[in-house]
Amino acid sequence: MDLNEIAVFTRVVQAGSFTAAAKTLGMPKSTVSRKVADLEERLRARLLQRTTRKLSLTDAGRMYFDHGVRIVQELEAAEAAVGSLQARPRGLLRVTVGPNAGWLGDIVAGYLERNPEVQIELLSTGRNVDLVEERFDVGIRAGALADSSLVARKLGSVTWFLVAAPAYLKKRRRPRTPEDLANHDCLLFGAGSPSTTVQLGRGNESVQVAIAARLRVSDFEILGTAALAGLGIALVPAFQCVADVRAQRLERVLRDWAAPAIPVHVVYPTARHLSATVKSFVEHVQQRMTPPPWELGPVP
């Protein structure tokens, strides 16, 4: 089946002549005539009676036109719907993000407020989601990206602070060097053995510090709560602790030293024919992440 032949045939009937149809379709009259002839040849039936003055439908042509015009109308409606979808953000947007991404909440809320015709399905998971296979529109990923055909735009980097409650620092001597951490109760993110090695850097310097963590947990909120409770010195991402640091509920220690920053990217399957919804969401996230929310304003 050649949908072009059907479309040309229905337009010829509606226009009343090959010449008028050719003008409407923007193609040579000879092409219009050939497509109708090819359609009749494929169907093995004459659809139009041609005279020097007018065209008329045969019984077979009338039956075929009644069905064909509905097909063309459906196709035109589908194209109009897709065009409308491309014109402004609307419909369902499926987004995947890693765990512990609470910083994204305000960004998503802001996007939905600006785009009332969009619905978002947000999957937070620690597994590697295949955007194409699982039909997600956008992914937000932290860490180094594996080689793939995905389009990636960097949003920034997650910085990490060493923080502790004032009460803990009043009770215990404040560390002066990274090596002093070995003599403190440390609270770390992750899972596995309590004994671990933490990498810290200052300018061109880099040190590896062996630490026996008093608490090791794979949830940033629990880690932050433990730090606020004065249980020890925590190594936490800036977005988790920056509000508490500004409010002086937590204090930074070893301010000159930092753990390696983790890059954050927004990724999507293709840049070609990007829908208005995906495009506007990516642009919104980039705008809100420039700079990242945890870097806004001075940090005590």
Question: Does 133 share its domain with 212?
Answer: no
How does pLDDT run along the chain (300 residues), one tens digit per residue? 667 788 888 888 888 888 888 888 888 888 888 888 888 888 888 888 877 677 888 888 888 888 888 887 777 666 656 665 556 898 899 999 998 888 899 999 999 999 999 999 999 998 888 898 898 999 999 988 876 788 999 998 988 999 999 999 999 989 999 999 999 999 999 877 767 888 999 988 999 998 888 999 989 999 999 999 999 999 999 888 988 999 999 999 999 998 989 999 999 987 666 788 999 999 999 999 888 877 755 555
Split into its structural domains, the chain has a count of 3
Q: Which structural domain, as residue segments, surrounds residue 188?
A: 160-252
CATH of the domain at 108: 3.40.190.10
Would you state the pLDDT for residue 281? 95
From start to end of the chain, where are the E strands? 48-50, 55-57, 91-97, 118-124, 138-142, 151-158, 160-164, 186-189, 195-202, 205-217, 233-237, 251-252, 262-268
Are residues 51 and 113 both part of a single domain? no
Do 99 and 242 sit in the same domain of this protein? no
Please check whether residues 80 and 164 belong to one and the same domain.
no
Give the distance, in angstroms, between the CA of residue 182 and the centroid of all CA atoms in the same chain. Answer: 41
Quote the pLDDT of residue 79. Answer: 67
Instruction: Measure Cα distances from 124 to 100, 115, 187, 280 in Å.
Output: 8, 22, 24, 21
Q: Is residue 190 in a domain?
A: yes
State residue 269's pLDDT score. 87
Is the entire prediction scored with pTM above 0.85? Answer: no
The reply to whether 196 and 221 lie within a common domain is yes
Hey, what are 107's tokens?
Answer: 């960004």
Same domain, 98 and 168: no
Residue that is last in its domain, among 87, 121, 148: 87
Q: Does 243 lie in the same domain as 164?
A: yes
CATH number for position 22 = 1.10.10.10
Residue 69 domain-assigned (yes or no): yes
Q: Which pLDDT score, from 0 to 100, does residue 137 have?
A: 92
Same-domain check for residues 136 and 279: yes
pLDDT for position 39: 83
Beta partners for residue 186, in sequence order: 213, 233
| Two tokens, residue 199 | 């990498």
